[in-house]
Structure 1
Amino acid sequence: MAEDVNYASVVFKNKNRSRPEAKNEEETVYDEVKEKKNSTEQSPDTNDKKADGRRRHYRLLACCLVTFCVILLLGIIAICVYKSNVINLTAEKMNLTMQNQELEMEKRNLTNQINDMTTKGNELNISRAQWSIDAYCPRKDGGRQCKSCQPGWILFQSSCYVVLDYKTSTDRKTWEEARENCKIMSSDLVVVDNAEEKKNVSDNSYHRPGNEGYWIGLKADGRKWKWVDGSDLADSSWIETPTDGHCAISHQTQGWKSVKCNNRNNWICEQKALSV
């Protein structure tokens, strides 16, 4: 390509020919040389086209190779992500399986506890029922004689009352302690519903030296008197205006009084009477 070599055909003609013929021969020779030269000048273009074709072919191959590598890389990344997800899901499945086993164990334990509590509850109910029978229907002369109230309790209308009367202050209780003692006996501090019941409670609030009175189920709450059953005092004339931190006591001669709940006094409990 650096050096172009032109080939020409030289034809030697006979000198004896006439001038016109010689001229024609010369023109023929010139035309042949010119045509040879033209055909030779066209060969570099053809080579360039072939080289361009090869370069395009190589670029296409390179693009295909790069595309294949990218696809291969993406495939490898996808496989790695998939394997990672599979590992994570497998670990999560194992954790859930263990949690399920723990929950099943807790369920069995709770079921056993419920069964135990049911059994104990049934036994307790039977014991309480037997206690109630023995308390309200004591055995006498080989049989049972049922009464509306337990021994030591006072029947009035549809309720039974017991007066807890202690001579020493060490045996007396605060309002809260007195209420807890009533609950132990399946009762509560007395709740007065009407004037007749109020008179009965006052009559049983014995007047003795050193005895301030008996706790009843009335307590100051938000500057209101409230009974232990949640109801409000209906007749405010029965006791003075409440002061928070005060509870009510019943005195046989002085009526109802408001005193501090942490004072120590005797108390009166109430429970429903047994229908016989």
Structure 2
Amino acid sequence: MAEDEVNYASVVFKSNQQQRSEVKKEETVYDEVKVQNKATEQTPDTNASAEFLSDKKSNRGCRHYQQLACCLGTLCIILVLGIIAVVVYNVTLIHENDETELNQLKENQTTLNAVNRNLTKLNNKLSSDNEDLKRNQTELTLHINNLTQVVTVFEKEVTNLTEENRNLQKKNEELETQNEELETEKKNLTDQIRNLTTSWNELNVSRAQWSIDAYCPKDKDKINNNRKCNVCQDGWLPFQSDCYAINNADPPEQKTWEGARGNCTGKSSDLAVVNNETEKNFVTGNNWWNSGNSAYWIGLRVEGGNWKWVDGRNLTYTSWITTSPTDGQCAVSVKNEFKSVSCDEKNGWICKKKALTL
């Protein structure tokens, strides 16, 4: 919009300065006309006077019209000024409204900028939270996968344990059945033990009586049947604190090493164990060799690559047998020495047990 013009409804309105300049121009023309009229009035000519009167009348008419034109121009100017004032007022109102709206828009823009900044911060925070949530989701996914694997393993273990539990229940039922059977057997064995205890007591009484008769026989030549006790029972040879039974069996009745030992244990004794040189000389140098037997089993054999006595002790006198120990070999007593032979040979044997202390 130009500085000196205001366009309103396709009409060009002039500013106040332009209106003032036009009024001045009209006044200048009016003054020139008055000067010309005075000049014509000062002419002495009559014709000129007549013309002056006619001109004067015409000038009056012109003046009248000029006044009307001035009034009309004034009214137009007033009207234009009113319109201009209305337009200016409206423009002012519009400008004020525009300023108000502009200020409001600025305030709104400031508010929106603040909101935008807050939203930007919130968006950044939400983006960060979203990244954290993604990381947490990834970790949770891995954790869930691990837990799934663990659960799978646990389910397999539970299945195995369930199967083992069923097997254990079956075994428990079997054990309960066996327990009942064992209880029955226990009861039967208790009855048997009771019966055996009674029999054992009776046997002990019988054995005690037998021991008395064996070690303290009655004197058959005396009427009062007095007893005389010996350290060894009849048929046993006393030596030091032990008793020896020399079994001079004939070849058909001779026994292997195991058979000979069984015979000795049946007599509450065992194959002879020799503890020292004196006892060795007694076993190997006695006069029972004249019976015809050349060898007698003693309680010495090879076990685990070593010579062992039947009481569990190792042979300490290695010079008594020079033969290397070989499994399946047993010792026999021959004239003045011990000798290694097969345990399956058959020979006589020597039993030994403790002598009775009187």
* Band of TM-score, shorter chain: 0.5 to 0.7
CA contact (8 A) 2:248 2:291 kept: no
1:112 counterpart residue number: 191
- 2:260 alignment partner AA: A
Q: 2:345 aligns with which of 245, 263, 266?
A: 263
2:334 counterpart residue number: 251
Structure 1: segments with no counterpart, 5+ residues = 1-96
2:230 counterpart residue number: 147
- 1:110 alignment partner AA: L
2:320 counterpart residue number: 238
Q: Which has the larger radius of gyration?
A: 2
Whole-Å separation in 2 of the counterparts to 1:115 and 1:191: 37
CA contact (8 A) 1:219 1:248 kept: yes
4+ long deviations beyond 6 Å: 97-104
For the pair 1:197 / 2:279, whether they are aligned, the reply is: yes
Instruction: Report which of the two has the higher share of helix.
Output: 2
Whole-Å separation in 1 of the counterparts to 2:235 and 2:228: 16
CA contact (8 A) 1:248 1:259 kept: yes
Instruction: Map 1:54-73 onto structure 2 (within 5 A).
Output: none
Whole-Å separation in 2 of the counterparts to 1:193 and 1:232: 11
Q: Give the total of aligned pairs.
A: 180
For the pair 1:221 / 2:279, whether they are aligned, the reply is: no
Instruction: Map 1:74-223 onto structure 2 (within 5 A).
Output: 105-140=184-219, 141=222, 142-166=225-249, 168-204=250-286, 206-208=288-290, 211-223=293-305
CA contact (8 A) 1:165 1:267 kept: yes
Identity %: 54
Q: Closer, same or farther in 2 for the Cα pair 1:102/1:132, shift >3 Å?
A: same
RMSD of the TM alignment (CA)? 2.5
- CA displacement, residues 33-59 of structure 1 (integer Å, 9 cap, x when unaligned): xxxxxxxxxxxxxxxxxxxxxxxxxxx
Whole-Å separation in 2 of the counterparts to 1:178 and 1:100: 42
Q: What secondary structure is seen at the aligned counterpart in 2 of 1:121? A: helix
- CA displacement, residues 132-168 of structure 1 (integer Å, 9 cap, x when unaligned): 11100101131111100011111111100010012x3
Q: What secondary structure is seen at the aligned counterpart in 2 of 1:112? A: helix
Q: What secondary structure is seen at the aligned counterpart in 2 of 1:193? A: coil
Give TM-score, length-normalised by structure 2. Answer: 0.47
Q: Closer, same or farther in 2 for the Cα pair 1:126/1:234, shift >3 Å?
A: same
Q: Closer, same or farther in 2 for the Cα pair 1:115/1:259, shift >3 Å?
A: same
Larger relative CO (CA 8 A, sep 6+): 1 or 2? 1
Q: What secondary structure is seen at the aligned counterpart in 1 of 2:246? A: strand
- Cα distance, 1:204 vs structure 2: 3.1
Q: What secondary structure is seen at the aligned counterpart in 1 of 2:254? A: coil
CA contact (8 A) 1:205 1:251 kept: no
Q: Closer, same or farther in 2 for the Cα pair 1:267/1:205, shift >3 Å?
A: farther
Q: Closer, same or farther in 2 for the Cα pair 1:137/1:193, shift >3 Å?
A: same
- 2:344 alignment partner AA: N
- Cα distance, 1:179 vs structure 2: 0.4
Whole-Å separation in 1 of the counterparts to 2:347 and 2:264: 14
